DNA sequence: AATGAATGAGTCTTCATTCAT
DNA sequence: AATGAATGAAGACTCATTCAT
């Protein structure tokens, strides 16, 4: 229904705004439930009821912690993205200083927990399959990949320099990121044909090939 | 080749011919309109109204030619898939006998019309983003890729034999297919970062790397 | 849910837009049902279900003929307003040329059908009680009264000139309009205390008093 | 006089005193906040959250002091009505003994503080616009007007006797009350067209006209 | 064969109320 | 006494499907 414009006068200071601990917890509960629900039913198939049931709360609760369904879904996907990104970063740091080792660490991280799980891949595929038609999802998607590729690109450049070869690091990073993404979406839809272990192996191989002298993407091609 | 977009020149309400001919044509009209609608609004965002309006018919018409919305959408995606497959096959045949040439021809075909168009990629992404949660879509997806990979695998084996190298042709085919799919979904969501020409270049490069002695996936690794 | 922006390409001409007779009829049905429903339950108390049931249709029908509940309610109130205005105009025309006769005719028209009915007064009161908080309703309200007062003001001026007295015609018209409105809202809430016949009598009397020499609102006071 | 708006200076969370005193004060706080909220959002648009926020308390507090939302709203409107009535009574008393002076004092009181304020008029209009559909509101409305008219009627009779003219005092009082109410609702929805000062002037004029010999409502007409 | 009118199920959202702390 | 977390009912809206013309 149409609402009048707020002609605010004499409003007292709004009652507390600080997310009060429990609020943070509930938002987290709902985000997690949303991730699981998206994984189970797809981005379009998920309903508020499903999420709340999954979280163990009543339907109306969502309104207390999120502006609406979209807001929650977006936050859930953002959180999942950040989890994946964090897992990669941790893997990189744990791999030592060598750029080539770090690249292989990213590959491993991309196909094993905590950066890779059935739910995470499913939500990622849901994101992929919706980003084209939703500006907000698209923004999440782009930001994540662009940052990711920048990191990979840097590692590629370092690894190439170290080995004394000249490569198109950006193109290498693009191949790297898209091969992983290709395996993710392929695995989500057909985990039999797109075996996880073989996918990882193929990615390791790609790194090796890209960093082989006179074989990888020559700078200035 | 018959692409979905080619039909855009079809006139509304064509003059009547044989009843059966009309039926075939109507189904075709609706399928094409469905493809365009999915490309425009996403798989979940498309409505019967949109499709019928896009096709130039009234809402109720769909019931005369399809069991329902899902039936139409499935057919539309199936048709799109077959168009893409046909384009690849034609490209392969046109490339001559050499298996390596044929692989490069598939790459070219994967990033240029008639096997590659904005609508086709969009619908493909819609398929990818829904296949996990729809048995029917999953079946379409799997059948297509499995057949595709079988063909690529065969070409990989032939090319390797020809060059006297031993490779894991299945793994090579898997990498090939998933890199292309990775580029497709990346391009759909971020065509700026995932440039079409560079994507194609990266795929050509992958073929070359895979078929390089002592670099590609060694059989028995 | 979030929807993508419409990237229209190749859209065919939309299928017919002409309100097809039956559409006009249904809109009318729904408008009438809305007026009755508002009269029965108040502006805020009315629901889409009530209106559709009152009209004898299913809940979903409203979406075919109106943008939504607000749209329908607005149209209904607008239509009611115009009915009242038309009734007044007809009464004025039927009253002959004399401006004083015409003013009395407006009074009569304001308290007898077709310009006055329980439903019309109820809807008017609903409008009065919501206009302050709804820009759209306010616009309807203002337009109607301003036009109304302009007409009354003109008649007042003519009647005064005819009788050779100088009055503040605008103030007279304002008094006239607000006395009638006061009686309407009073009658709606307490028809026993605010008797229709006595209300009409009081309004006739106001006209006479306003047009009495040396008693009414002197111009330039 | 106690007006609804005067309370706006009350501090949030006053220091505790006697339990009963606190309870009285809380009820008062909530009543005042309800009046302001109704004025701001309309009778139907007001929510418990709004009122509690306006009062500076948490949502749940209302349950401690009122049976529910309706109970609070009713009390708030009742309080506002009584404020207005009290303002009129005070004005009458302050005007001296002359009945005609007293009537003019009521007019003045009806268009100036503390009997007239934007919030009070707004809440009054909310009452007018809901009374027809709510037995409780209707009762408040009727009681108030009936008492009011009885007082005006008495003054009218006295003033007429004093001046030696015979009038229909009830009808005069009805005109008086409904003209004022008409101006109130008109001013609420269109304060530009229904100017406060001109409204007051028109009401003073009505009193004079009603009390003019051979012009006003003759007893026995 | 084609239309578009009508239906009703499904979903999101709002919000008064309850209640444990 | 006060808070705000949680519930669940109610209502608006969308849209696939049916069907009379």
Please write the tens of the pLDDT for every residue from A153-185: 999 999 999 999 999 999 999 999 999 999 999
How far apart, in Å, are the Cα atoms of A105 and each of A100, A111, A143, A209? 9, 10, 22, 16
CA-closest candidate to residue A142, choices B200, B186, B199, B45: B186
pLDDT at A6 over 50: no
The CB density around residue B160, as the number of other CB atoms within 10 Å, is 23
pLDDT at A220 over 90: no
CA-closest candidate to residue B84, choices B3, B200, B199, B179: B3
In chain A, % of residues over pLDDT 90: 86
Rounded CA separation D28/C106 (Å): 46
pLDDT, tens digit (0-9, with 9 covering 90-100), for C6-53? 443 443 343 444 557 888 999 999 999 999 999 999 999 999 999 999
pLDDT, tens digit (0-9, with 9 covering 90-100), for C140-170? 999 999 999 999 999 999 999 999 999 999 9
Burial degree of B59 (CB within 10 A; 0-12, 13-18, 19+): middle
CB contact under 8 A, A2 and C132: no
In chain C, % of residues over pLDDT 70: 88
- Give the nucleotide nearest to C62 (CA→C1'): F13
CA-closest candidate to residue C34, choices C74, C82, C86: C74
Residue B23: predicted pLDDT: 83
Task: For strand F, list residues 43-102 of chain D whose Cβ lies within 7 Å of it.
Answer: 57-61, 63-64
CB contact under 8 A, C188 and D141: no
CB contact under 8 A, A4 and C135: yes
Residue B213: predicted pLDDT: 84
Longest Cα pair distance anywhere in chain D, in angstroms? 64
Q: Give the relative orientation of helices B169-189 and B135-162 as an angle to the nearest 10 degrees.
A: 130
Which pLDDT band, with edges at 50, 70 and 90, does A5 fall under?
very low
Bases in strand F with any atom closer than 7 Å to a protein CB: 1-20
Rounded CA separation A165/C118 (Å): 91
How far apart, in Å, are the Cα atoms of D127 and each of C14, C169, D48, D120, D144? 47, 31, 18, 10, 12
Rounded CA separation D30/A155 (Å): 64
Which pLDDT band, with edges at 50, 70 and 90, does C1 fall under?
low
CB contact under 8 A, B174 and A41: no
pLDDT, tens digit (0-9, with 9 covering 90-100), for B31-75? 999 999 999 999 999 999 999 999 999 999 999 999 999 999 999
> Cβ distance A144 to A150 under 8 Å?
no
Burial degree of C98 (CB within 10 A; 0-12, 13-18, 19+): middle
Q: Which residues of chain D have a CB within 8 Å of the CB of A8?
A: 40
pLDDT, tens digit (0-9, with 9 covering 90-100), for C43-71? 999 999 999 999 999 999 999 999 999 99
Q: Rounded to the nearest 5 degrees, what angle is found at the Cα of D187, between the Cα atoms of D183 and D189?
A: 125
Domains of chain B: 14-210 (1.10.357.10)
- Burial of B119-142, coded b for 16+ CB within 10 Å and e otherwise, reads bbbbbbbbbbbbbbbbeebbebbb
- Give the nucleotide nearest to D61 (CA→C1'): F2
Cβ contact B–A (≥3 pairs, < 8 Å): yes
Q: What is the mean pLDDT of residues C103-116?
A: 97
Tokens of C30: 């729904």
CB contact under 8 A, D185 and C185: yes
Q: Nearest by CB to B186, from A178, A209, A210: name it.
A: A178
Q: What is the mean pLDDT of residues B68-86?
A: 96
What is the dihedral angle through the alpha carbons of C110, C114, C119, C124, rounded to the nearest 10 degrees? -40
Residue D33: predicted pLDDT: 97
A21: which DSSP letter? S
Q: Nearest by CB to C15, from B8, B36, B58: name it.
A: B58
Residues of B near C (CB-CB distance < 8 A)? 8, 12, 36, 40-42, 45, 52-58
Peptide bond into D114 cis (omega under 30): yes
CA-closest candidate to residue D79, choices D24, D41, D15: D24
CA-closest candidate to residue C120, choices C83, C73, C69: C83
**CA→C1' distance for C107 and F17 (Å):** 54
pLDDT, tens digit (0-9, with 9 covering 90-100), for A10-32? 333 434 444 578 889 999 999 99
Residue positions counted in chain B? 221
A20: which DSSP letter? -
Residues of chain D with pLDDT under 50: 1-18
- Burial of B164-178, coded b for 16+ CB within 10 Å and e otherwise, reads ebebbbbbbbbbbbb
Q: Which carries the bigger pLDDT value, residue A213 or residue C63?
A: C63
DSSP sequence for B106-172 = HHHHHTSTTT--HHHHHHHHHHHHHHTT-HHHHHHHHHHHHHHHHHHHHHHHHHHHHTT--B-HHHH
pLDDT at B9 over 50: no
CA-closest candidate to residue B176, choices B198, B201, B204: B204
Which pLDDT band, with edges at 50, 70 and 90, does C193 fall under?
very high
Residue C221: predicted pLDDT: 54
- Using the Cα atoms of residue B141, residue B142, residue B148 and residue B152 in order, give the sign of their dihedral: positive
Residue A7: predicted pLDDT: 39
> Cβ distance C208 to C156 under 8 Å?
no
Which pLDDT band, with edges at 50, 70 and 90, does A219 fall under?
low
- Give the nucleotide nearest to D16 (CA→C1'): F1
What mean pLDDT value characterizes chain A? 91
**CA→C1' distance for D69 and E17 (Å):** 9
What is the dihedral angle through the alpha carbons of B204, B208, B211, B213, rounded to the nearest 10 degrees? -170
pLDDT, tens digit (0-9, with 9 covering 90-100), for A65-116? 999 999 999 999 999 999 999 999 999 999 999 999 999 999 999 999 999 9
The 8 Å CB, 24+ separation contacts for B27-32 are B27/B65, B27/B66, B27/B75, B29/B55, B29/B56, B29/B57, B30/B55, B30/B57, B30/B61, B30/B62, B30/B65, B30/B66, B30/B72, B30/B76, B31/B4, B31/B72, B31/B75, B31/B76, B31/B79, B32/B4, B32/B7, B32/B8, B32/B76
pLDDT, tens digit (0-9, with 9 covering 90-100), for C200-218? 999 999 999 999 986 667 6
- Burial of B184-220, coded b for 16+ CB within 10 Å and e otherwise, reads bbbbbbbeebbbeebbbbbbebbbbbbbbeebbbeee
Q: Nearest by CB to A189, from B132, B190, B208: name it.
A: B132
């Amino acid at each position: 229904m149409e609402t009048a414009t707020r002609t605010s006068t004499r409003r007292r200071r709004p009652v507390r705004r600080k997310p009060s601990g429990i609020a943070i917890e509930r938002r987290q509960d709902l985000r997690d439930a949303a991730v699981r629900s998206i994984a189970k039913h797809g981005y379009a198939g998920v309903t508020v009821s499903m999420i709340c049931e999954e979280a163990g709360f009543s339907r109306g609760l969502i309104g207390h912690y999120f502006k609406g369904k979209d807001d929650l879904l977006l936050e859930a996907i953002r959180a999942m993205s950040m989890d994946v990104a964090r897992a990669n970063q941790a893997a990189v740091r744990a791999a030592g200083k060598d750029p080539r080792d770090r690249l292989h660490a990213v590959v491993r991280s991309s196909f094993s927990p905590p950066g890779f799980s059935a739910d995470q891949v499913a939500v990622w595929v849901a994101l992929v399959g919706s980003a084209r038609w939703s500006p907000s999802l698209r923004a999440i998607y782009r930001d994540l990949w662009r940052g990711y590729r920048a990191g990979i690109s840097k590692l590629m450049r370092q690894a190439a320099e170290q080995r004394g070869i000249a490569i198109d690091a950006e193109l290498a990073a693009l191949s790297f990121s898209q091969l992983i993404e290709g395996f993710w979406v392929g695995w989500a839809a057909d985990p039999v044909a797109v075996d996880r272990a073989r996918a990882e192996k193929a990615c390791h191989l790609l790194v090796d090939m890209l960093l082989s002298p006179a074989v990888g993407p020559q700078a200035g091609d």
